[in-house]
Structure 1
Amino acid sequence: KNRKSCLSSVEAVVVSFGCQEGASHWLQETGCQYDMLLDPDRKIYAAFGLGVSLRKVLNFGNMLLYAEYILKDMKFPRGLPSIQDDMFQLGGDFVLDEHGRVLFSHCCQSPIDRPSVKDILSAQ
């Protein structure tokens, strides 16, 4: 396929391990327009090797960055007090083809570790 036809067939999906109420709230808070799949048993997370890590989430660099965000009065999406969430679950970014083959894989090493858009779009 040429690059133009590949990009026209792309579909972005957000996967969350949370409950429906929390997912709906997050979509509303963030204004996210993508479809969301719920994976409460974290089978998709496990299949892609996405782990849980207190050390990677609460490391000094992340805490310093969050403190800078707070000082700049940046707003964070607020969770619902009635929902317990796992803040130590790490995420990732993946590109799959129409047959389910993984073309690009990035398992986040912290909550702020994301690949560049250029890297994601270069996956073929």
Structure 2
Amino acid sequence: MTGVDLKIPLLEENFSKLQTVLDEARQDFSNDVESFCKTGIFKMGRFIRFYADLMKQMNTKLNEDFVEELDNVDFELNLEEKEGNSEKMRKFLMEWNDFLKEIESKETVNLSQSFQVEDLLPENIKNEFYLSQIVKDKPEQFDKSCVKDLHLDFRKKQDSVSNKSFVIFGEPKGAYRWFMENHVSFSDQQFDMVSDQDRRLYKLFGLPNSYVKVWNSETLIYYAEQLVRLGTLPGSYQDVEDDPHQMGGNFILQYSDDSNFRLIFSYKSKNPPDRPSAQTLLEFLESKF
């Protein structure tokens, strides 16, 4: 029995497991949309473990190597002109992502909570406009006192070249715990933290809730690669209420002499792990100032 012959049953077994995850999700979604979007969707996270098992069984740590190995298996089985394992996987991932789009098109409760300002925040990474003008144009979407408080805070820290703040929408205790685990200190004023539980800043910057961006195959495969490499993934805090479908971003604001904030750098996350590096942000600041 060849190495390829040994791999085929394992491939079929884990392909079947992945397909079962999708089939069960479709069934749960058709039975109760609201319940599925609130809790049932998290069962789709099993994709990560099953895909990681596939990668390990093919002795690969990166997805590109895994796909190449699937092609090699197909070639050795003379399946290149038929629907081999590589084509089967490609079609499955398309089905997976199409299902997520279906969820997002039908489930509007969470999505409607995000105020889109695409005309004010284009997709390009650098743009400039005055926040005070947005407050003036969209007073129902943003509390003016928030901007006033931010102005006062900046005036108190005029001696600083720059200030860094974390903006969170969840429970502060969850953020503090994350900071401690990652050795981020507040005692020496490294960072400020703003608790935006009404998500006014999130809405202002056009940061939506998204099932597609969080659960798409590209994102889950990234986590599968991390699982293969590290052997484990960090878990959520069971005692902290969170919303993993809320997207985030990185923004740099410049305080001007006329008491306005100018947004000079904007990056809206397209998937959970895609943020610009600290080095990228520092290089931008150096080029700007």
What interval of TM-score do these two structures reach, taking the shorter chain for normalisation?
0.7 to 0.9
The answer (yes or no) to whether the contact 1:20–1:38 under 8 Å persists in 2 is yes
More strand per residue: 1 or 2?
1
* 1:45 aligned residue: 202
Report whether the alignment pairs 1:30 with 2:182: yes
SS in 2 for 1:10: coil
Listed as ranges, the gaps of 5+ residues in structure 2 are: 1-159, 186-190
Superposed CA RMSD: 2.0
CA displacement at 1:74 relative to structure 2: 6.3
The answer (yes or no) to whether the contact 2:168–2:195 under 8 Å persists in 1 is yes
Q: Which amino acid aligns with 2:276?
A: P
* 2:124 aligned residue: none
* 1:80 aligned residue: 237
Q: Which amino acid aligns with 1:53?
A: S
Which has more radius of gyration? 2
CA displacement at 1:108 relative to structure 2: 0.8
Query: Which of 63, 66, 69 matches 2:223?
Result: 66
CA displacement at 1:78 relative to structure 2: 3.9
SS in 1 for 2:178: helix
Query: Which of 268, 278, 287 matches 1:107?
Result: 268
Distance 1:9 1:105 in 2: 20
**Residue correspondences, number:** 117
Distance 2:253 2:263 in 1: 4
SS in 1 for 2:230: coil
Q: Which amino acid aligns with 2:280?
A: K
CA displacement at 1:36 relative to structure 2: 1.6
More helix per residue: 1 or 2?
2
CA displacement at 1:107 relative to structure 2: 0.8
Q: Write the deviation string for residues 51-100 of structure 1: whole angstroms up to 9, x where unpaired.
A: 11011111111101101111111665543211221001110111100232
* 1:10 aligned residue: 162
SS in 2 for 1:89: coil
**TM-score, normalised relative to structure 1:** 0.82
CA displacement at 1:103 relative to structure 2: 0.6
SS in 1 for 2:237: coil
Identity across the alignment (%): 34
